[in-house]
């Protein structure tokens, strides 16, 4: 069993940032990820709002983060499945399909993902017209016709925000009423750029390389229609990647990990950062911030707080 000071589960922006901070603090760090190193950000076609950097692809940004973490000494393993773990004692144990590892502290940065419609065509146009983040991608759809899928507060509020850029926004919702707060419903209803298609659902996203339209079913009468759009924003919920740890650390009703201001969970030596924790905003920059805080919290746990900063 190979021993480290810290094991980080998840190699997205939160996990890689924590690894950078901890390895620079002379801690031995292992970063594990069940998929490709970089997390959800690698699916982003272009990142234009990361402070201090010109517009670049999500893949490029993630690659630079990975290189920086590796250069500072982190061991990084992608495409690695967790078979078992034990976080109860002072020594935390993680068993994977590539080996067994132990550490004095663990950071859960396993992220999550927006809930998807589950259509085959959805995967084809992800990052090529389909987005799950208005803040990230809204300005790429300036003067274009787009749809928003969903009927809760996120869908309504993001639809309003997208009218800053888009020529028109059509909200498609499967029910005959919205689940959002009254003020959110009113704001969307009062916006002249927004129209509604209630009791409707998307059957298919269409286009060649990029999205050019959606095929929509009217659930009231069974009729179908084709709507020409170049963008689709889907806001039907979020799925944190916490299921594996639901009997280990405390979660809220949405399955998000609960932490304190230092990103510590209710289990000593176990921290959480990024989109898997309870939070309102999910951006690359907020994940990086979480990773920084979690790393500093781990340092306090391992060596004690810095007396100069007390």
Q: Which two tokens stand for residue 153?
A: 């507060």
Catalytic site positions? 133, 136-137
Under CATH, to which class is 116-234 assigned?
alpha beta
pLDDT at 42: 80
Q: Do 2-113+238-309 and 116-234 show the same overall fold?
A: yes
pLDDT tens, the chain, 310 aa long: 899 999 999 999 999 999 999 999 999 999 999 988 988 888 676 788 899 999 888 889 999 999 999 999 999 999 999 999 999 999 999 999 989 999 999 999 999 888 899 999 999 999 899 998 887 789 999 999 999 999 998 899 999 999 999 999 999 999 999 998 899 999 999 999 999 999 999 999 999 999 999 999 999 999 999 999 999 999 998 889 999 999 999 999 989 999 999 999 999 999 999 999 999 888 899 999 999 999 999 999 999 776 665 5
Exposed/middle/buried for 278, CB within 10 Å: 0-12, 13-18, 19+? middle
From CA 126, how far away is CA 129, in angstroms rounded?
6
Terminal CA-to-CA distance of the chain, rounded, Å?
37
pLDDT at 307: 61
Residues in Cβ contact with 124 at an 8 Å cutoff, skipping those fewer than 6 apart: 205
In this structure, whether the domain defined by 2-113+238-309 belongs to CATH 3.50.50.60 is answered with yes
pLDDT at 45: 64
pTM: 0.74
Neighbouring-strand partners of residue 217: 201, 224
> Is 87 in contact with 269 (CB distance < 8 Å)?
yes
Question: So where are the chain's domains?
Answer: 2-113+238-309, 116-234
Torsion of CA 8, 10, 12, 15, to 10 degrees: -20
pLDDT at 39: 86
Query: Rounded to a whole number, what is the largest CA-CA distance in the chain?
Result: 69
């Amino acid at each position: 069993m190979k021993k480290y000071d810290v094991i980080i589960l998840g190699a997205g922006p939160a996990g890689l940032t924590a690894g950078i901070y901890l390895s620079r603090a002379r801690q031995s760090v292992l970063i594990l990820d069940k998929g490709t190193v970089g997390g959800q950000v690698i699916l982003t076609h272009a990142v234009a709002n990361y402070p201090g950097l010109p517009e670049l692809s999500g893949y490029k940004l993630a690659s630079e983060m990975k290189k920086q973490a590796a250069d500072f000494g982190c061991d990084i393993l992608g495409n690695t499945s967790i078979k078992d773990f034990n976080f109860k004692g002072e020594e935390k144990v993680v068993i994977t399909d590539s080996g067994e590892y132990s550490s004095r502290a663990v950071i859960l940065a396993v992220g999550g993902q927006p809930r998807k419609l589950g259509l085959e065509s959805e995967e084809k146009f992800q990052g090529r017209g389909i987005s799950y983040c208005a803040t990230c991608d809204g300005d790429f759809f300036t003067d274009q016709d787009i749809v928003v899928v969903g009927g809760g507060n996120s869908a309504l509020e993001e639809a309003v925000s997208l009218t800053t850029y888009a020529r028109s926004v059509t909200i498609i919702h499967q029910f005959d009423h919205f689940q959002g707060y009254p003020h959110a419903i009113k704001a969307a209803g009062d916006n002249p750029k927004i129209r509604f298609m209630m009791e409707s659902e998307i059957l298919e996203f269409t286009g060649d390389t990029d999205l050019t339209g959606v095929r929509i079913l009217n659930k009231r009468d069974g009729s179908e229609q084709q709507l020409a759009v170049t963008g689709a924003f889907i806001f039907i919920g979020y799925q944190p990647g916490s299921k594996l740890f639901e009997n280990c650390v405390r979660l809220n009703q949405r399955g998000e990990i609960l932490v304190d201001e230092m990103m510590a969970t209710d289990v000593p030596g176990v921290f959480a950062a990024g989109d898997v924790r309870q939070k309102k905003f999910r951006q690359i920059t907020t994940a990086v911030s979480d990773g920084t805080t979690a790393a500093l919290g781990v340092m306090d746990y391992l060596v004690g707080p810095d007396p100069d900063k007390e």
